[in-house]
Chains A and B, each alone.
Chain A
Amino acid sequence: MLALSFSRLLLQAFPKQPVTPRATAQCIRSLKTSQQDPPKKDDMPIKMENPYKQPPKTCILCNVIVDFKNVQLLSQFISPHTGRVYGRHITGLCGRKQKEVSKAIKKARSMGFMSVTLKNPQFMKDPDICGIKQFE
């Protein structure tokens, strides 16, 4: 028993094949860098503005002056059948512009610029902003 363990010890201490360190890639890299200058900070991310930034979402009347005299513009936000002003969920305008448009339409109606119950036939062929499906 003692002899066996002793022989094992001898084998471990003096192996038949000498164990040399294998030249792996990591070993080579570590050898190289240790010889060069200390690591530079070129790997740090460059500070820049987000290149995928989208333009801020605006409503269609952003930076457009809404006037009671501009009947054609106002007529785009009323129903062609009844002349009623469309709500916010249909026009898609922001709060401020929706209020401005609605106020301007009411002003135009009372001042005699715009009709109350109908849409001017001249403006019937204007492009559809509100995207509401009219029952045909």
Chain B
Amino acid sequence: MPRYELSVILKAMQRPETAAVLRRTVETLFERGAVVRGLENLGERRLPYNISKHNCLHTHGGYFSVDFHASPNILSGLLDHLERDIDVLRPTVIKKDVEVSKAQCCGLQNEKAKSTSR
């Protein structure tokens, strides 16, 4: 199963309400057969730009990241569900790629050689 990361921005709320939203998000994931690896809190910050969602303009939000393994079939359904949730401002799922090998890193010299040879 491929590995995904759900970056979700929640409305700026009190702690118990935020906990409730996260709980139901993760429960949704479980229902759709995902294996949740971990949940990270990236802090509550001021949004880089005002986000108007569900008929309301937001300036602050709580950033959370959920790491999970799931089948690719569920993604569209999951995003649909999250879009309907009033407390979620911006849900995004991205695929987590395997780390690139460091041996290939930095071919600055090779690049310069190539550019000069042209």
Residues of A within 8 A of B (CB): 56-59, 62-63, 65, 69, 94-97, 107, 109-116, 120
Which one of B90, B99, B105, B111 contacts A111 once the chains associate, using CB atoms below 8 Å?
B90
Can you list 18 contacts pairing A with B, beta carbon distance less than 8 Å?
A56-B109, A58-B105, A59-B106, A62-B106, A63-B105, A69-B7, A69-B42, A94-B108, A96-B106, A97-B106, A111-B9, A111-B92, A112-B47, A112-B51, A113-B7, A114-B48, A116-B48, A120-B48
Q: Which residue of A lies closest to B63 (CB)?
A: A113
Q: How far is the CA of A119 from the CA of B60 in the complex (A)?
A: 17
Instruction: Give Cα A59 to B108, complex, Å.
Output: 7
CA distance A111 to B89 in the complex (A): 10
B9 — nearest CB in chain A belongs to which residue? A112
Q: Which residues of A contact B92 (CB under 8 A)?
A: 110-111
Scan B91-118; emit 1 where CB is below 8 A from any A CB, else 0: 0101000010010111111010000000
The residue in B61, B89, B92, B105 that gathers the most chain A C-beta atoms within 10 A of its C-beta is B105
Q: Establish whether residues A94 and B9, one from each chain, have CB atoms under 8 Å apart when the complex forms.
A: no
Interface residues contributed by chain B, number (CB under 8 Å): 23
Contact A94 B61 (CB under 8 A): no
Assess whether B65 is interfacial by the CB under 8 Å rule. Answer: yes
- Chain B positions near chain A (C-beta within 8 angstroms): 7, 9, 42, 47-49, 51, 61, 63, 65, 89-90, 92, 94, 99, 102, 104-109, 111
Residues of A within 8 A of B48 (CB): 109, 112-116, 120
- Complex CA gap A25/B108 in Å reads 56
Closest 9 CB pairs of A and B: A115-B48, A62-B106, A58-B106, A112-B90, A111-B92, A94-B108, A57-B108, A112-B9, A62-B105
Within 8 Å CB of A109, what residues of B? 48
**With contact pairs A111-B7, A113-B48, A115-B48 given, residues A57 and B109 touching in the complex (Cβ less than 8 Å):** yes
